[in-house]
Structure 1
Amino acid sequence: MNIFKNFKDYHSEKPLAMSLGMFDGVHLGHKYIINELKKIGCEKNLETAILTFWPHPRFVFNPNEDLKLLNTIDEKEVLMEKYNINTLFVKEFDNEFRNLTGEEFVREILIEKLNVKYLIIGYDHSFGKNKSGNFELLQKLSSELNFEVEQMEAINIHESNISSTKIRNALLKGNIKEANEMLGYSYSISGTVVHGKKLGRTIGYPTANIETESIKLLPKKGAYIVEVFVKNKHYKGMLSVGTNPTVNGEKLTVEVYILDFEGDIYDENIMVKFRDFLHDEIKFEGLDKLIERLDEDKRLTEEFQF
């Protein structure tokens, strides 16, 4: 897959079948669109392309909004790579770009620069200044500019439309299995292992403290069963998102106890995949009660079938 961060670097004359949007999470609804894109590309002998934006437009329009995303840009590129799309465009969403009207975007970017011949958009997608671009505008311009357009219907699970917002909300409620079902894969976070207070090693549960990217969504505070990937191997793990209230902690941390693992992994990059929710964050009366709960969490994690 070719990745272009700047349209000026793209010089192909080959016509494209394209879809555009944020694709945050690259979830099952997005998969449905991408599969249709690949089918059209094959049928009409067009190269396939995705156009996405970075940063998220909401960061630009509402800089004070505390929006967290399902994917970092690196994670999104890895997920897209799996679909064998020919080209991924990652357009910087800057002030110049945000001021293009929907029609200017279609004429100047999609047609003149990228030679799009077939465009697929999601059921609720809009684009351009003041959301002036939509399916109706695309239909209006398609004959004049010689391209075809298709609007995909929403994908449902349990009679509910899949969306990035619904997945974020599920994670914020600790509904890991629901979120994973909509994603089509296990939600993950990754980061560098950093030094913490090292309390865990004094009670028999040494943890790795993971420093994650600030824009990455963390599930609700609590304990989780996770799969841990470190040094090209994977293990079962118990992960905590919280402030360690039993010892009067204040800073939000992400800590994982890795089962059947020994070794120094400070400064290593690790990834964890969320598999199930164990319980909410608890303030225990003392370390003995904390250890009892950790023992029970460990038993449940050992029994969990990945």
Structure 2
Amino acid sequence: MRLLRGLHNIPDPFPGCAATIGNFDGLHRGHQALLSALHTVADQHGVPTLVLLFEPQPKEYFAPDKAPARLASLREKLQDLNADHVDYVLCLPFNHALRSMSADAFIEDILVKTLKIRHLIVGDDFRFGCDRKGDYQALASAGEQAGFDVQDSSTFLVAGERVSSTRVRAELAGHNLQGAADLLGRPYSMSGRVAHGRELGRTIDTPTANVLIRRKQLPIRGVFAVRVRHQETGDIWQGVANAGYKPSITKIPEPSLEVHVFDFNGNLYGQHLTVEFLFRIRGEQAFASLDHLRAAIAADKQAARDYFAALAGQSPAASS
């Protein structure tokens, strides 16, 4: 996969593409079905696949304090799209210039002249251009004139309801990890590089990896039994993690992910980990003293070990 940051990085000449546009936050099963359809039409036209993203996401630009928590950081999103064998990801900065661009200019300057689009897949509720005046019908009409096809992305249902990033967030907010996994096709996870933290865990016999998650808000909070995968080596461990804002340690509301990896004595600093959330042990709490915190962490570790012991002989994806 090749990441193109901005229109100026598009190769010249460009062979044209089959493309889709969206946030692709979390790359749930609906996204996966859309990308499967995109690969099919790209093969039919003999062109590469391209996913067009915006950074920040439009809702974050217009209302940063009200935008929903991201399921995936940009890095995680790119990892997911690369795993799906997308050929190009075009990431455009969502700024005043793009926000002010008319729908006609977006179609003519970006889709037709620059991307030489051959086939486009979007939802029938897709809106674009200044004041969201562009819609699916505008794209279909432009496609008839410019010679590209426009296809409506099929609705993907789970339990009779449409799969969406909003629905995944709702399942996570309701502590239904299995429900979120059903929508994603895998356990919900967060990834990041391990950085130096306060190293408080070492003083209470529970060393933790401070995973940098690059988020302003968290879609999930609490203490969890987790599966940890080393992105470089592929090694997999079990552990316990706290996702939240460290109420017992700092009053600065900075999202954090602290992971204690069971039966591991190596050095993880600078390494990239993916943390899969399998079972929620409790909500995040503030404790009056380090002794109370130490006792709670000991109970959390035992609860996580009990969870994994109960899973012995079962599929590791089965979580509750």
> Shorter chain as normaliser: what TM range?
0.7 to 0.9
| Distance change >3 Å, CA 83–CA 242, structure 1 → 2 | closer
Q: Is residue 274 from structure 1 mapped to residue 288 from structure 2 by the alignment?
A: no
Q: Which structure 2 residues correspond to residues 91-130 of structure 1 after superposition, within 5 A? A: 91-130=92-131
Q: CA offsets per residue over residues 166-223 of structure 1, 9 Å max, x none?
A: 112222332222222212233222232323252x4455433223332134x5343322
| Distance change >3 Å, CA 149–CA 223, structure 1 → 2 | same
Aligned twin of 1:79: 80
Q: Which structure 2 residues correspond to residues 179-198 of structure 1 after superposition, within 5 A? A: 179-189=180-190, 190-196=192-198, 198=200
| Distance change >3 Å, CA 219–CA 136, structure 1 → 2 | closer
**SS of the residue 1:191 aligns to:** strand
Q: Which structure 2 residues correspond to residues 160-199 of structure 1 after superposition, within 5 A? A: 160-189=161-190, 190-196=192-198, 198=200
**SS of the residue 1:277 aligns to:** strand
In 1, the alpha carbon distance for the partners of 2:23 and 2:141 equals 24
Aligned twin of 2:6: 6
> CA contact under 8 A between 1:123 and 1:153: conserved in structure 2?
no
| Distance change >3 Å, CA 263–CA 8, structure 1 → 2 | closer
Q: TM-score, normalised by structure 1?
A: 0.88
In 2, the alpha carbon distance for the partners of 1:109 and 1:242 equals 40
> CA contact under 8 A between 1:238 and 1:301: conserved in structure 2?
no
In 2, the alpha carbon distance for the partners of 1:303 and 1:218 equals 28
Q: Which structure 2 residues correspond to residues 129-168 of structure 1 after superposition, within 5 A? A: 129-168=130-169
Give the drift of 1:249.
5.7
| Distance change >3 Å, CA 288–CA 59, structure 1 → 2 | closer
Q: Which amino acid aligns with 2:284?
A: E
| Distance change >3 Å, CA 141–CA 226, structure 1 → 2 | same
Q: Which amino acid aligns with 2:305?
A: K
Aligned twin of 2:229: 229
More moved, 44-53 vs 290-299: 290-299
Q: Which amino acid aligns with 2:225?
A: I
Q: Is residue 239 from structure 1 mapped to residue 222 from structure 2 by the alignment?
A: no
> CA contact under 8 A between 2:281 and 2:303: conserved in structure 1?
no
Aligned twin of 2:208: 207
In 2, the alpha carbon distance for the partners of 1:248 and 1:195 equals 12
Aligned twin of 2:42: 41
Q: CA offsets per residue over residues 35-60 of structure 1, 9 Å max, x none?
A: 11111112232332111111111222
**SS of the residue 2:308 aligns to:** helix
- Structure 1 regions of 5+ residues with no counterpart? none
Give the drift of 1:22.
1.4
More moved, 32-41 vs 224-233: 224-233
> CA contact under 8 A between 2:123 and 2:136: conserved in structure 1?
no
In 2, the alpha carbon distance for the partners of 1:73 and 1:137 equals 29
Q: Is residue 298 from structure 1 mapped to residue 309 from structure 2 by the alignment?
A: no
Give the drift of 1:244.
5.7
| Distance change >3 Å, CA 32–CA 195, structure 1 → 2 | same
**SS of the residue 1:130 aligns to:** helix
Q: Is residue 58 from structure 1 mapped to residue 63 from structure 2 by the alignment?
A: no
In 2, the alpha carbon distance for the partners of 1:220 and 1:255 equals 13
Q: Which amino acid aligns with 1:112?
A: K
- Structure 2 regions of 5+ residues with no counterpart? none
| Distance change >3 Å, CA 302–CA 261, structure 1 → 2 | farther
> CA contact under 8 A between 2:45 and 2:118: conserved in structure 1?
no
Give the drift of 1:243.
5.2
> CA contact under 8 A between 2:70 and 2:215: conserved in structure 1?
no
Alignment length (residue pairs): 303
What RMSD over aligned residues (CA atoms) do the two structures have, in Å? Answer: 2.5
Give the drift of 1:287.
5.5
| Distance change >3 Å, CA 83–CA 254, structure 1 → 2 | closer
Q: Which amino acid aligns with 1:184?
A: G
Q: Which amino acid aligns with 1:263?
A: G
In 1, the alpha carbon distance for the partners of 2:69 and 2:46 equals 38
More moved, 167-176 vs 145-154: 167-176
Q: CA offsets per residue over residues 55-78 of structure 1, 9 Å max, x none?
A: 111222123335421222222221
